[in-house]
Amino acid sequence: MISSPLDGHHALVTGAGSGIGAAIARSLAKAGASVTLAGRRRAPLVAVAEEIGAAAAFIADGFDVTDRGAITAGLDKARAALGPVSILINCAGEAPSASFEKTTLEMWSRVVDVDLTGVFNVTQLALPDLKARGTGARIINVASTAGLIGYAYVSAYCAAKHGVVGLTRALALELAKKGVTVNAVCPGFTDTPIISRSIAQIVEKTGRTPEEALAEFTRHNPQGRLVQPEEVADTVLWLALPSAQSINGQAIAVAGGEVMTG
């Protein structure tokens, strides 16, 4: 078995400071990739870098996926530190909750800007590196089961994540002959700070116990539990491996059977 199958790769992970993004960064680094940890806040990125080892990590703080200037500056610094990007993981995202009637234009625009246009921005600006690498280069978008089905009270999030899945499929076809694969991973409800904040909001607004609030999320999973970030990271790692070269244009659900794609 090759212990470092991603040796020589430079992986850029957005939203790398916590939750799924941090788990992905750890997984890719363990497989031998050098990793740029991209996010807006420095402190959580430093904590992840300390976990995976400073030699294998570059911290790109101030990396706002809605700001093309900030992305360009971050990419330039990351290239100078670790070389051209060959694996791109788009994981940055927001998921505020509101009924459709109470979803303001400001909320709608913010979610779409971060969760969908952010993927467009980072991918377009990193694409020259990926095309130059050719075979073996990867774009992996962390979407959601909300990109495959609908959920109440997160209409903006559902719309944005459906857009991410559509963008994934279109770009997979455009880049197929270049050797760059493009796939999406679609987690169900996952044990991350986003879920923790949602549980706290439910408790505050409804007076339910934390256990009752948690049950609102675990009931969607036939296994009766939250997905773990490491399970999502393992799926991303598989898609990044050389042996996954024929996996292209797919939206893979990691949700315990809640969503079954055919």
157 catalytic, yes or no?
yes
Q: Residues 6 or more apart from 8 whose CB is under 8 A from it?
A: 32, 86
Per-residue tokens: 22 = 């941090």
Q: Residues 6 or more apart from 198 whose CB is under 8 A from it?
A: 95, 97, 213, 217
Which own/partner pairs from 76-81 qualify as long-range (CB within 8 Å, at least 24 positions apart)? 78/10, 78/12, 78/36, 78/38, 79/129, 81/36
Alpha helices, DSSP H, located in 83-228: 105-112, 118-133, 155-175, 193-206, 210-218
The catalytically annotated residue of 63, 157, 189, 217 is: 157
Across 167-177, b (16+ Cβ under 10 Å) vs e yields: bbbebbeebee
* DSSP letter, residue 224: S
Q: Point out the residues that are catalytic.
A: 157
